[in-house]
Amino acid sequence: MESTPQTPMNGRKAQAARNDQTILQAARAVFVADPGAPVSAVAERAGVGISALYRRYASKEILLRKLCSDGLKRYTAEAEAALADEGDPWAVFARFMRRIVDADTHSLTVNLAGTFAPDEELFRESAYAMELTRRIFERAGDAGVLRPGLEVTDLSMILEQITAVHLGDEERTMELRHRYLALALDSLRLTSAEPLPGPPPAEEEIGRRWVTARSSRTPASP
């Protein structure tokens, strides 16, 4: 079956899409560095007027939701790719972890959790991401390539710890993150290791960080 060619966007729509991407990139940089920064800092970094920004995102909260939703979509795309990969179970698992580090989705979790109230769509996206992660984890576990005593929630904590690595420029930071991910992956593959101390984090413990004064529910964290 032939695919239907997509109609290219006209000049005005293409420019609007580029402007939107510029705003989102600026917002990610600003709010990951300082979640309390004002929206005006995003407009300044993006090189757009504050009124133009508000025409696209009527509030800071809406902008934060969009950033986290985009992060979850990137995460789920990588997870779906991993589940579709029928290669060696350990290689697939390790490749998935490396791609998530490259995507840097957990910087959003670490810095933005609790700064806004998630909506229903974000809850659904989060639950789907967690389900995919569980399937990836269980497939690796069933293949016998993960150390005993691990739970899927341990992966969230490991990825967040790696996200905390910041040193020098972006290239050097990513180089170091992959260095420590390699060490983490070695420890995850120790199938005859000593028992781990303490229980793994519960999903409720991880999700609790997203609770704000206006939100009583806690989304799952992949």
Please state the rounded mean pLDDT for residues 98-125: 93
**Would you state the structure tokens that stand for residue 27, as one six-digit string?**
């917002």
- CA distances (Å), 172 to each of 98, 144, 166, in order? 16, 34, 8
| Helix, strand or coil, per DSSP, at residue 42 | helix
Q: Give per-residue pLDDT as tens, 119-172.
A: 999 999 999 999 999 999 999 999 999 999 999 999 999 999 999 998 878 999
Q: How far apart are the first and last CA of the chain?
A: 36
Number of H helices and number of E strands within the chain? 10, 0
2 — pLDDT class (breaks 50, 70, 90): very low
Tell me the pTM: 0.86
Domains plus CATH for the chain?
Answer: 1-58 (1.10.10), 66-210 (1.10.357)
* pLDDT value of residue 182: 98
CA distance 146 to 140: 6
Contacting residues for 76 by C-beta, under 8 A, at least 6 apart: 125, 128, 129, 132
pLDDT at 11 over 80: no
Torsion 38-39-41-42 (CA) sign: positive
Question: CA 92 to CA 80: how far, in whole Å?
Answer: 12
* Residues in Cβ contact with 198 at an 8 Å cutoff, skipping those fewer than 6 apart: none
Token couple for 146: 């993960």
